[in-house]
């Protein structure tokens, strides 16, 4: 399960040797062209083209991870996290919306990713209201021993995709998870119909102001080092 902007969490810091290893191996795994930004820092971040990028290693028991970016919409990470349970990181790109659901005319996104065939992870949107009372996760693909928080709520077709829906609570906020019924590495999603369905059809939340729309990789394990790449993405609100 994802959480606020991960950098706000108080969690166990990584050991310096692990980060040092990431510097050595992770940068070597970056694209052949020179990245305009790279970081192996636990909370490394930068702003590019209107998006904020986070390396964001937040889970206990994490290994090393290095992020790189050619732009705010073309970026990735090399991650070497042990094959144990529990989310280790959520490297992501964030766009701030700050509009209520009813004031939005549209909220759309596109994505194109390259993900490994091993490890345990999901590729997901993590959407928050400004008070961080509600978290909406949209999993467009997942692999390995990973699963959503909460109990199943059925299947629904919204925003151009068919999702298995889960509803849960982590003690700090409510979590609504939408898992695409088949994996996708490229496509587009209309986010606003999903928010309206939660609000109007289910009554699970009110007219919340949507703050962050994040897109990235929630990594549980990637032993030996794996590459996760966002070839392109966009988030736009109207």
The architecture of the domain spanning 16-237 is Sandwich (2.60)
pLDDT in the model for residue 19:
36
Strand partners, 93: 53, 215
Distances (CA, A) of 98 to 7, 56, 107, 124, 221: 19, 22, 12, 20, 33
Cα–chain center distance at 20: 24
> Tokens 């636990």 appear where?
42
Rounded CA-CA distance 69/89 in Å is 17
pLDDT in the model for residue 33:
55
Rounded CA-CA distance 230/75 in Å is 5
pLDDT in the model for residue 136:
98
pLDDT in the model for residue 194:
98
pLDDT in the model for residue 7:
35
Hey, where are the domains in the chain? 16-237
Tokens representing residue 109 in the block: 């996104």
Question: Which pLDDT tens digit goes with each residue over 116-126?
Answer: 999 999 999 99
pLDDT in the model for residue 17:
33
pLDDT in the model for residue 58:
97
Rounded CA-CA distance 206/101 in Å is 9
pLDDT in the model for residue 1:
55
pLDDT in the model for residue 2:
53
pLDDT in tens, the chain (238 residues): 554 443 333 333 333 333 333 333 444 444 545 699 999 999 999 999 999 999 999 999 999 999 999 999 999 999 999 999 999 999 999 999 999 999 999 999 999 999 999 999 999 999 999 999 999 999 999 999 999 999 999 999 999 999 999 999 999 999 999 999 999 999 999 999 999 999 999 999 999 999 999 999 999 999 999 999 999 999 999 9
**Angle at 122 (CA atoms; ends 11, 41), nearest 5 degrees:** 40
């Amino acid at each position: 399960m994802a959480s606020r902007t991960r950098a706000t969490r108080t969690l166990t810091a990584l050991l310096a040797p692990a980060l040092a290893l990431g510097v050595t191996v992770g940068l070597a795994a970056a694209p052949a062209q020179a990245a305009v930004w790279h970081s192996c820092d636990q909370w490394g971040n930068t702003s590019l083209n209107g998006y904020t990028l986070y390396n964001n290693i937040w889970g206990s028991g994490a290994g090393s991870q290095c992020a790189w970016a050619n732009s705010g919409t073309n970026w990735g990470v090399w991650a070497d996290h042990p094959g144990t349970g529990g989310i280790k990181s959520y490297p992501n790109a964030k766009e701030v919306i700050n509009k209520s659901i009813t004031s939005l005319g549209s909220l759309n996104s596109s994505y194109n990713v390259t993900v490994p065939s091993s490890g345990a992870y999901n590729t997901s949107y993590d959407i928050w209201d400004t008070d961080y009372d509600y978290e909406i996760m949209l999993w467009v693909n997942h692999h390995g021993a990973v699963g959503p928080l909460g109990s199943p709520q059925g299947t629904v077709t919204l925003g151009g995709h068919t999702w298995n829906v889960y509803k849960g609570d982590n003690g700090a906020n409510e979590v609504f998870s939408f898992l695409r019924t088949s994996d996708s590495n490229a496509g587009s999603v209309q986010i606003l119909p999903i928010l309206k369905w939660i609000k109007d059809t289910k009554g699970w939340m009110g007219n919340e102001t949507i703050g962050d729309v994040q897109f990235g990789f929630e990594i549980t394990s990637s032993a030996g080092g794996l590459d996760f790449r966002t070839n392109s993405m966009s988030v736009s609100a109207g």
